[in-house]
Each structure stands twice: as structure tokens, then as C-alpha cells.
């Protein structure tokens, strides 16, 4: 198998600053983040949501509650996969009814993960509004889904891989683009 060529899209410092900037954008566009809650999509959406909440807290003193969403059971590709992935729990310790929610994920690609996440959220109640925040938008959407907050837009080919590393999970902050030579 030919080795893939990796290029760095964001360094550790750039990754940290990008997340910080996203937090400030959320504060600006949501009116001091009043009444919003952040929903991190497992896995890397979760530490991202926690960091965004930290920025919101520092900027406004407002506490944005965090929920964790596992979308495994809502995936549309289970029948294509030869095996079912392990299910993890969804932990949203507040009612989503009438709430202003921001879904948080690391990479926006086809939009199918977000479709699954929206389905999952609506099984829990009826939010007032759902927005999307992603660290990287790599294009190639297969559904009419867009993010309100984007850290970095990247031109990719469909077969490329965007690798997001976050300190909490991977021990370092870094975003890499892997492409076939």
C-alpha cells in the first residue's frame, strides 16, 4: 500500500487559536451566548465543546452547559458496514426543549454525521434552534447542511483524510491532511 503524504494544516498554536476564535464568534453571534448549550459529537466534538465553553465562560462569565451525543445508532451506513460499531452513551443532562443548541464536531465532510446528530437530538425533544460549529470544513457535502461557525475551510479530494488531533484524546493539538501521492 502506498504511503500517504501528510501535510500540516494547523499547528498546535494555530489549532488552539482557531478554537479560541470560534468561541468568541459564538459569543458575538448569539448575544453573549445567552441561554445556549453546546452538544459535542463523540469523540472529538466533546473536548472541542468543552474548550468552547471555556472561552464562553472567560468572555461572558456565562456557563454554557455541555451535552455529549453518540450518533452510532443513527448512522445510515450500518447496513453497508460488515459489523456494527460499539455504541456509547449519550449524556445530555438538561432538557433540549426550547433550547438554543450548538452542535460541535471536528470535521464537516458529507454532512451525514450531522444529519444523524440532528435525528438524535430530536428524539430527545424540540430545541428552539440548532447551529453547527466545526473545526474543519473539508467540503464534499452529500446533504444540505452547513456550519454557522467554521474554524478552517480546506480544499480536499474525496479520498483524502483530515486528521484532527486534540490534546485531551491524542496528547497534542494538530490538524493534518493526508493525501494519496
Partner 1 sequence: MSFTFRHLLGTEALSRDEITFLLDQSRAFQGIQKQPLKKLATLRGKSAVLAFFETSTRTRISFATAAARLGADTMNLQAESSSTQKGESLVDTVRTLEAMKPDVIVIRHAASGAPHFVAERLGIPVINAGDGLHEHPSQGLLDALTISDRLGRLDDLNVTIVGDIRHSRVARSNIHVLSKFGGRITLCGPAMWLPAEMPGMAPNMRIEPCITQALPGANVVMVLRVQTERLREPSLPPDEYIRLYQMTPARLALARPDAVLMHPGPMIRGLEIDPAVADSPQSTVLEQVTNGVAVRMALLYLLTGGAPSAATPQAG
- Residues forming contacts to partner 1 in the complex (CB under 8 A) are 70, 72-75, 77-79, 81-91, 107-114, 122-125, 142, 161-162
List beta partners, residue 45: none
What is the dihedral angle through the alpha carbons of 12, 23, 28, 151, rounded to the nearest 10 degrees? 50
Q: How far is the CB of 32 from partner 1 (least distance, A)?
A: 30
Q: Toward partner 1, which CB reaches closer, 56 or 66?
A: 66
Where would I find the H helices in the chain?
12-29, 45-60, 112-124, 167-170
Q: Toward partner 1, which CB reaches closer, 50 or 72?
A: 72
Q: Toward partner 1, which CB reaches closer, 54 or 111?
A: 111
Q: Toward partner 1, which CB reaches closer, 14 or 110?
A: 110
Judged on CB neighbours under 10 Å (0-12, 13-18, 19+), 93 is exposed
The strand pair at 129-137 and 100-108 is best described as parallel
Q: How far is the CB of 167 from partner 1 (least distance, A)?
A: 20
> Coil, helix or strand for 100?
strand
> Coil, helix or strand for 8?
strand
What percent of the residues of the chain are helix, what percent strand, and what percent coil, each to the nearest 5? 30, 30, 40
Q: Which grid cell is 3?
A: 504511503
Q: Toward partner 1, which CB reaches closer, 33 or 96?
A: 96
Residue 92 and residue 124 in contact, taking contact as beta carbons nearer than 8 Å: yes
Q: Toward partner 1, which CB reaches closer, 135 or 162?
A: 162
Q: How far is the CB of 59 from partner 1 (least distance, A)?
A: 31
Q: How far is the CB of 51 from partner 1 (least distance, A)?
A: 21
Q: How far is the CB of 48 from partner 1 (least distance, A)?
A: 15
Q: How far is the CB of 109 from partner 1 (least distance, A)?
A: 4
Amino acid at each position: 500500500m502506498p504511503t500517504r503524504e501528510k501535510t500540516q494544516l494547523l499547528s498546535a498554536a494555530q489549532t488552539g487559536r482557531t478554537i479560541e476564535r470560534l468561541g468568541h464568534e459564538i459569543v458575538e453571534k448569539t448575544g453573549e451566548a445567552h441561554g445556549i448549550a453546546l452538544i459535542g459529537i463523540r469523540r472529538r466534538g466533546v473536548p472541542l465543546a468543552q474548550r468552547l465553553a471555556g472561552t464562553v465562560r472567560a468572555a461572558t462569565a456565562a456557563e454554557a452547559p455541555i451535552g455529549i451525543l453518540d450518533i452510532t445508532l443513527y448512522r445510515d451506513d450500518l447496513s453497508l458496514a460488515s459489523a456494527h460499531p460499539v455504541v456509547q452513551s449519550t449524556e445530555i443532562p438538561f432538557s433540549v426543549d426550547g433550547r438554543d443548541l450548538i452542535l460541535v464536531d471536528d470535521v464537516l465532510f458529507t454532512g451525514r454525521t450531522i444529519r444523524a446528530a440532528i435525528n438524535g437530538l430530536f428524539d430527545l425533544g424540540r430545541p428552539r434552534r440548532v447551529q453547527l460549529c466545526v473545526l474543519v470544513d473539508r467540503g464534499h457535502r452529500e446533504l444540505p447542511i452547513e456550519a454557522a461557525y467554521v474554524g478552517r475551510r480546506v480544499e480536499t479530494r474525496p479520498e483524502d483524510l483530515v486528521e484532527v488531533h486534540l490534546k485531551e484524546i491524542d496528547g497534542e493539538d494538530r490538524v493534518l491532511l493526508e493525501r494519496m501521492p
